[in-house]
A and B are shown apart, each in its own frame.
Chain A
Amino acid sequence: MGSRDDEETLRERVDELGARLKRLRAFGSLRRTLRVAEEDEAIALAAQRVALDVLSCTHFAVYCAEKDDTDFRLLSAAPEGVALPAVVERGDPFARVLEQQASVREGELIACLGPDAKNPIALALRGLPGQLIGFAIVAGSPLDGELLDEVLDELVFDVESALAARMISRLRAEELAVLEIQERELVGLLRDVEARDAIIQRDLEEARQFQRKMLGTPPRVPGAAIEVVYMPLGLVGGDLYAVSAEHGRLRLFVADATGHGVRASLTTMFIKSGYEAVRATAPDPGALLAALNDTIAQTYRSSEMLFSAVCVDLDLASGHVRFASAAHPPLCLVRSGDACLVEGGGAFLGLRTGMKFEVQEASLSAGDGIYLFTDGFSEARKQNEQFGDERLRLAIHEAHMRGARAGEAVMQAVAAFLDGTPMDDDGTFVGVRFGVEDDEEPVVMSTREPPASVR
Chain B
Amino acid sequence: MGPESLEIEIKVEGDIVRARGAGRDMCRELGLSEINQVKVATAISELARNIFHYAQTGMITLRRLSTPRAGIEIIAKDNGPGIPDVKLVLSGAYKSKTGMGKGLLGARRLVDFFEIDTGPDRGTTVVLRKFVR
State the A residues within 8 Å of B (CB).
38-40, 166, 169-182, 185, 188, 192
Contact = CB atoms under 8 A, between A and B. Distances in A.
Contact of A185 (B42, B87, B92, B102): B42
Interface of B: 17, 42, 45-46, 87-88, 91-93, 99, 101-110
B92 A178 contact: no
Chain A interface helix/strand/loop/mixed: helix
A45 B19 CA distance: 42
Contact of B92 (A170, A180, A181): A170
B91 A181 contact: no
Nearest to A39: B91
B103 A170 contact: no
Contacts, number: 55
Contacts of A188: 17, 45
Given A177-B105, A181-B107, A39 B42 contact: no
A95 B92 CA distance: 26
A396 B127 CA distance: 74
A177 B104 CA distance: 8
Contact of B93 (A173, A181, A192): A173
B68 to A, nearest CB: 15
Nearest to A178: B106
Contact of A174 (B42, B99, B105): B105
8 contacts: A38-B93, A39-B91, A173-B92, A173-B93, A177-B102, A177-B105, A178-B106, A181-B102
Nearest to B114: A66
Contacts of B106: 174, 177-182
B41 to A, nearest CB: 8
Given A39-B93, A174-B106, A181 B46 contact: yes
Contacts of B46: 181
B78 to A, nearest CB: 18
Contacts of B91: 38-40, 166, 170, 173
Interchain residue pairs A-B with the least CB separation, the first 3: A173-B92, A177-B106, A177-B105
Nearest to A172: B92
Contacts of B103: 177, 181
Contacts of B42: 181-182, 185
A176 B93 CA distance: 12
Nearest to B101: A177
A178 B93 contact: no
Given A166-B91, A177-B109, 9 more contacts: A38-B91, A39-B88, A173-B91, A177-B104, A180-B106, A181-B42, A181-B103, A181-B107, A185-B42
A305 B110 CA distance: 50
Nearest to A174: B109
Contacts of B108: 174
A350 to B, nearest CB: 40
A182 B17 CA distance: 14
B99 A180 contact: yes
A196 to B, nearest CB: 13
Contacts of B109: 174-175, 177-178
B121 to A, nearest CB: 23
Given A39-B88, A174-B108, A177-B109, A185 B45 contact: yes
Contacts of A174: 92, 105-106, 108-109
A169 B45 contact: no
Contacts of A175: 109
A178 B110 contact: yes
Contacts of A166: 91
Contacts of B87: 39
B116 to A, nearest CB: 13
B3 to A, nearest CB: 25
Nearest to A175: B109
Contacts of A171: 92
A397 to B, nearest CB: 59
Given A180-B99, A181-B42, A181-B102, A169 B92 contact: yes
Contacts of B45: 185, 188
